[in-house]
C-alpha cells in the first residue's frame, strides 16, 4: 500500500524534531557532526513568506553549538511578501536573541498563528516562548493617518484587559513625511492605534443662555 507524500509542514516538523534531539544530545556533551543536522531557519523563512511575513530569520548563524544568536531580527507583514511597499507592520528586536532552544524553534515555525498585523494593529502571543517573552522590540505601523500621538495607542492583554500605555510604550514618533508610526514596546501583547480620529479637533466654547 502506498503512503501519501509528506507535506512541507510535516517534513519541516520532522526536521525540527531531529534538530531538537541533536541539540539536546549536543548540550549533554556529545559532539554531533554539523553535516548531520539540518539548518531549520531557512525552512522557517519559507513558511513565513508563504504567510506574507518577510524576515531575516533565514540568516541566523548555523550550525550548533556556536550558533543561533542574532541581533536585529525582524518580521514584517505584507499583503504581498515580495513587494515592500505593501507592508502593514513590522517588529524589530534590537537586542541579541538566542534561538537555539528547540521550543523557540517550534515557536518560530508557528509564528504566523502567533502574530497579528493589520492596519493600525500589531499583536504577538509570546506566552509559549521564554526567549521572546524576555525581549521587547521596536514596532512600526505603516500608513497611519497624520496627527497621531501616544495617547492614540491602546495596549491590551490577551484577555482584553487594558494596560496603561505608558507602562509598555516609549519613544513614540510619527514620521511627518510617510506618517508611519514607530515606538518601543517593553514586552509583547496587543497594540492598536486610533486610525479614525481626525488629525485636528476644534472645541467650541459652551454658551449657557
What distance in Å separates the CA atoms of residue 159 and residue 139, rounded to the nearest whole number? 21
Q: 115 - beta bridge partners?
A: 124
Mean pLDDT of the chain: 84
Residues contacting residue 92 through CB under 8 Å, at least 6 positions apart: 72, 73, 74, 137, 138, 140
The tally of CA atoms less than 13 A away on the side-chain side of residue 161 is 5
**Which pLDDT band holds residue 34 (cuts at 50, 70, 90)?**
very low
Q: What is the pLDDT of residue 9?
A: 52
**Cell numbers for 72:** 536585529
Whether the per-residue pLDDT at 22 is higher than 50: the answer is no
What distance in Å separates the CA atoms of residue 161 and residue 186, rounded to the nearest whole number? 17
Percent of the chain surpassing pLDDT 70: 77
**Which pLDDT band holds residue 199 (cuts at 50, 70, 90)?**
low
What distance in Å separates the CA atoms of residue 34 and residue 64, rounded to the nearest whole number? 7
pTM over 0.85: no
Whether the per-residue pLDDT at 19 is higher than 70: the answer is no
**Which pLDDT band holds residue 32 (cuts at 50, 70, 90)?**
very low
Domains of the chain: residue spans and CATH: 8-193 (3.30.1610)
CA distances from 110 to 119, 144, 154 (A): 22, 28, 26
Amino acid at each position: 500500500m502506498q503512503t501519501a507524500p509528506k507535506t512541507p509542514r510535516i517534513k519541516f516538523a520532522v526536521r525540527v524534531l531531529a534538530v531538537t534531539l541533536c541539540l539536546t544530545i549536543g548540550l549533554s556533551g556529545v559532539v554531533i557532526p554539523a553535516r548531520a543536522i539540518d539548518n531549520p531557519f531557512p525552512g522557517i523563512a519559507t513558511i513565513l513568506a508563504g504567510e506574507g511575513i518577510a524576515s531575516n530569520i533565514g540568516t541566523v548563524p548555523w550550525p550548533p553549538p556556536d550558533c543561533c544568536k542574532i541581533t536585529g531580527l525582524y518580521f514584517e507583514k505584507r499583503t504581498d511578501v515580495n513587494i515592500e511597499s505593501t507592508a502593514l507592520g513590522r517588529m524589530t528586536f534590537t537586542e541579541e536573541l538566542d534561538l537555539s532552544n528547540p521550543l523557540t524553534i517550534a515557536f518560530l515555525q508557528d509564528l504566523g498563528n502567533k502574530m497579528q498585523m493589520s492596519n493600525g494593529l500589531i499583536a504577538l502571543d509570546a506566552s509559549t516562548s521564554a526567549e521572546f517573552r524576555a525581549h521587547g522590540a521596536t514596532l512600526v505601523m505603516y500608513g497611519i493617518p497624520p496627527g497621531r500621538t501616544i495617547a492614540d495607542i491602546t495596549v491590551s492583554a490577551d484577555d482584553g484587559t487594558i494596560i496603561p500605555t505608558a507602562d509598555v510604550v516609549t519613544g513614540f514618533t510619527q514620521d511627518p513625511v510617510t506618517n508611519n508610526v514607530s515606538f518601543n514596546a517593553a514586552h509583547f501583547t496587543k497594540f492598536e492605534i486610533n486610525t479614525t480620529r481626525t488629525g485636528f479637533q476644534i472645541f467650541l466654547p459652551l454658551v449657557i443662555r
